[in-house]
Structure formats: structure tokens, C-alpha cells
């Protein structure tokens, strides 16, 4: 089994309980174990095929990091320690290829900025691999730029297309002509009067001619 957190140095009791089922009865078993704490830092790394790599050698305090150690004994527990001030980052068990991988959600609180060293130490083989890292603060995102607004003030001249002056037709010279009115009714009245006048004139001439003829007879 794998513990979900690092235990402080000292003696501990591990208790395993089974609630039981239809076939087996409930049971409980305990075991005593001793945590030696942070292994002493060796003067030099083991070298050879033993090595440790990190997802990034520039670490942010609150950012996750993946650490992989190779060249360890299959099945042994590998302890990952951050130096200068030793802080245990966690432990991982080496697989059949001797590789142990630790996923760190964030560096421990209070980790100082600057240069550090990550070490992987084999609990059984005592093999050691290390890699230098830098803990740096995450730069703050720049503040969004303020919107640009046009300054208040008088509005500049407005350009408009020139328009041609209006022209009027010259008034006709001489006396003004009367405006023709619309004609209404019939035009037969004057013609009837003229015909009657001609009839009367003809009749008068006929009477006069007869009178002259009577006088000469």
C-alpha cells in the first residue's frame, strides 16, 4: 500500500481493518513501523544510470511539478527531498524498470525563492540522484489598459459639399397679360342675336324696295 502523506520521523502504528462480508468475518491487524526521517545527504550522487529529472527546472511555489527518478531497485521506496533546508516532497515506489515518479501539486508553504536541489534517495539501495532547480515567483499579469476616450471640447468644422445658387426666370417685359379664365356655359347666345339682326335688316330692305316700286308705277 501507499500512504497519501509523508509521516514525521519516529515510531508509528499502522492498523488495517476489514469490515467482513457474507463469507469472511471482520478482522483487524496492526503493525509497528519506524520512520527514520530525512535520509542524511551524501557528499556526492551515485552517478551511473541513477538520475532524476523534473518537468521544469524553474519552479513556481504554487505550480505543480512532476519528478521522475531512474536507476533504482525495483520495488524500493524512493524519497524525494528538496534542499537547501531539507523538505520531503513525497515518496514513490520504483516499478519493475527501477523508475519512480512523484507528482507534486505544489511546493511546501514557505519555500524560499532562489536556487535549490531536488534529490531522489533510494530507501533500500541508498542510491542518490539530484538535479538543480530554481524557485521563482510568478510574474503578475499586467493590468488591463484603460479605455481611450476622445477629449471633451468644441467640435471641429464640418465640411459640406458646395451647392449652386438658386436661379429664377426673368419676368417678361411689357404690360402684363390677363390671365385667361376658364370658359363655362354655351357660346350660342351671340350667334342667335347676330342672326336676328340680319333677319330684321333683310326685312327692312324688302319693305323699302316695295315702297319704291309702288311710287314708280
For the entire predicted model, the pTM comes to 0.52
Which domains, from first to last, does the chain contain?
A: 51-135 (2.60.40.1930)
How buried is residue 61: exposed, middle or buried, by Cβ count under 10 Å (0-12/13-18/19+)?
middle
The DSSP bridge partners found for residue 13 are 32
* Percentage of residues in the chain having pLDDT higher than 70: 54
Give the mean model confidence (pLDDT) for residues 178-195: 48
* Average pLDDT over the chain, rounded to an integer: 75
Average of per-residue pLDDT across 164-184: 52
Distance of alpha carbon 26 from alpha carbon 20, whole angstroms: 4
Say how far apart CA 102 and CA 80 lie, in whole Å. 8
Q: Which residues contact 16 (CB under 8 A, 6 or more apart)?
A: 28, 29, 30, 31
Place of cell 330684321: 200
Alpha helices, DSSP H, located in 93-136: none
Amino acid at each position: 500500500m501507499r500512504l497519501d502523506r509523508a509521516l514525521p520521523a519516529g515510531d508509528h502504528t499502522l492498523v488495517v481493518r476489514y469490515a467482513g462480508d457474507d463469507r469472511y468475518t471482520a478482522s483487524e491487524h496492526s503493525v509497528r513501523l519506524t520512520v527514520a526521517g530525512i535520509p542524511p545527504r551524501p557528499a556526492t550522487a551515485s552517478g551511473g544510470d541513477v538520475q532524476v529529472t523534473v518537468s521544469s527546472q524553474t519552479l513556481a511555489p504554487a505550480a505543480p511539478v512532476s519528478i521522475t527518478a531512474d536507476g533504482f531497485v525495483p520495488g524500493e521506496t524512493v524519497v524525494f527531498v528538496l534542499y537547501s533546508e531539507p523538505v520531503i516532497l513525497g515518496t514513490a515506489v520504483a516499478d519493475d524498470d527501477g523508475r519512480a515518479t512523484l507528482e507534486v501539486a505544489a511546493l511546501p508553504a514557505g519555500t524560499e525563492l532562489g536556487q535549490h536541489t531536488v534529490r531522489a534517495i533510494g530507501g533500500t539501495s541508498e542510491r542518490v540522484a539530484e538535479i538543480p532547480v530554481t524557485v521563482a515567483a510568478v510574474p503578475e499579469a499586467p493590468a488591463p489598459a484603460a479605455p481611450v476616450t476622445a477629449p471633451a471640447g468644441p467640435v471641429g468644422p464640418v465640411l459640406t459639399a458646395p451647392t449652386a445658387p438658386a436661379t429664377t426666370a426673368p419676368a417678361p417685359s411689357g404690360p402684363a397679360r390677363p390671365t385667361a379664365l376658364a370658359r363655362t356655359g354655351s357660346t350660342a347666345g351671340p350667334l342667335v342675336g347676330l342672326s336676328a339682326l340680319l333677319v330684321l335688316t333683310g326685312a327692312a330692305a324688302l319693305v323699302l324696295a316695295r315702297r319704291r316700286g309702288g311710287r314708280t308705277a
